[in-house]
């Protein structure tokens, strides 16, 4: 599909999304989400390799939100691409992605307990495989990492447009890349904080004492919980009180937040 000088390529991603915007005159490309792992293997990887052979690269990669059908293809790409300074598939200039570290919940300067660490690792381990569109596990990607870990480990430029803070309407309203200007529509920092607070509230039902620190396990566990493997975590305080009238409403609210609050553009 082409609109003016913008080519829009939508890769087959089942119930997910994987969209490439190519601004022809500006020679600028934006990849939004990556679908499932087979989206990357069958559709996205060959196209990215073709771009790379032509000397092209992805100027901006946007991970809109944490869900299997949007994020797994990106995790597969990041794992195969390796270090950003010597990419094996394609050069990626910058990545926009909001993780736990981009929330403003108060951190403690204490070490977390062994029990809390075990709970966090259990959640984080849900990132140890990539689910395919048919629900099966992609064995070749066992012992995978969270997106946060892959970004740090491989030296990607993560939210560098805002000096590493959150991509939100509070930190950046508009962003220009040459002749291309983006307007940031959502999320607000408040919504990002509420997502973290809801998750921490549920974490506290698993641990008698929760110490919130800068430990990278919080990034991994936050992502693991929101990736769709722990839907039982996404009930609200009103749900616990068996308020059926509010339960359906709040569940939809959490699902909407989960699927929409990190939609960057």
Radius of gyration, alpha carbons of the chain = 19
Predicted confidence at residue 262, as pLDDT, reads 33
Residue 134, domain member (yes or no): yes
Predicted confidence at residue 230, as pLDDT, reads 45
Residue 265, domain member (yes or no): no
Write the pLDDT tens digit of every residue in 57-111: 999 999 988 877 788 899 999 999 999 999 999 999 999 999 999 999 999 888 8
Residue 18, domain member (yes or no): yes
Predicted confidence at residue 250, as pLDDT, reads 27
Alpha-helical (H) ranges within the chain are 37-39, 45-53, 68-81, 114-124, 147-153, 189-206, 217-224, 237-240, 244-260
pLDDT < 50: residue spans in the chain: 139-143, 229-265
Structural domain count, the chain: 1
Residue 63, domain member (yes or no): yes
Write the pLDDT tens digit of every residue in 135-146: 555 544 434 578
Return d(Cα 18, Cα 222) in angstroms, integer: 23
Residue 69, domain member (yes or no): yes
Predicted confidence at residue 141, as pLDDT, reads 42
Report residue 196 as tokens.
Answer: 């973290």
Residue 102, domain member (yes or no): yes
- Structural domain span for residue 137: 2-260
Predicted confidence at residue 130, as pLDDT, reads 53
Return d(Cα 11, Cα 97) in angstroms, integer: 20
User: How many other β-carbons are positioned within 10 Å of the β-carbon of residue 15?
Assistant: 11
Q: Which residue has the tokens 């901006």?
A: 60
Predicted confidence at residue 5, as pLDDT, reads 81
Report residue 5 as tokens.
Answer: 């000088």
Predicted confidence at residue 101, as pLDDT, reads 93
């Amino acid at each position: 599909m082409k609109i003016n000088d913008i080519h829009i390529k939508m890769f087959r991603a089942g119930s997910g999304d994987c969209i490439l915007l190519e601004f022809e005159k500006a020679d600028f490309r934006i990849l939004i989400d990556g679908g499932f792992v087979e989206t990357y293997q069958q559709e996205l990887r060959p196209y990215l390799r073709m771009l790379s052979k032509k000397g092209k690269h992805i100027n901006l990669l946007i991970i809109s939100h944490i869900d299997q059908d949007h994020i797994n293809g990106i995790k597969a790409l990041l794992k195969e691409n390796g270090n950003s300074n010597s990419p094996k598939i394609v050069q990626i200039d910058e990545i926009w992605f909001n993780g736990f570290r981009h929330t403003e919940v108060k951190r403690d300067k204490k070490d977390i307990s062994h029990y809390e660490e075990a709970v966090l690792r259990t959640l984080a381990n849900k990132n140890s495989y990539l689910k395919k569109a048919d629900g099966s596990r992609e064995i070749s990607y066992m012992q995978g990492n969270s997106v946060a870990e892959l970004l740090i480990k491989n030296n990607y430029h993560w939210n560098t447009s805002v000096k590493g803070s959150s991509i939100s309407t509070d930190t950046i309203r508009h962003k220009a890349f040459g002749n291309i200007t983006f307007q940031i529509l959502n999320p607000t920092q408040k919504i990002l904080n509420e997502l973290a607070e809801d998750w921490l509230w549920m974490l506290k039902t698993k641990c008698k004492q929760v110490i919130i620190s800068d430990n990278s396990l919080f990034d991994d566990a936050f992502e693991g919980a929101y990736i769709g493997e722990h839907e039982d975590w996404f009930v609200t305080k009103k749900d616990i009180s068996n308020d059926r009238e509010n339960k359906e409403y709040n569940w939809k609210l959490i699902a909407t937040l989960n699927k929409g609050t990190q939609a960057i553009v």
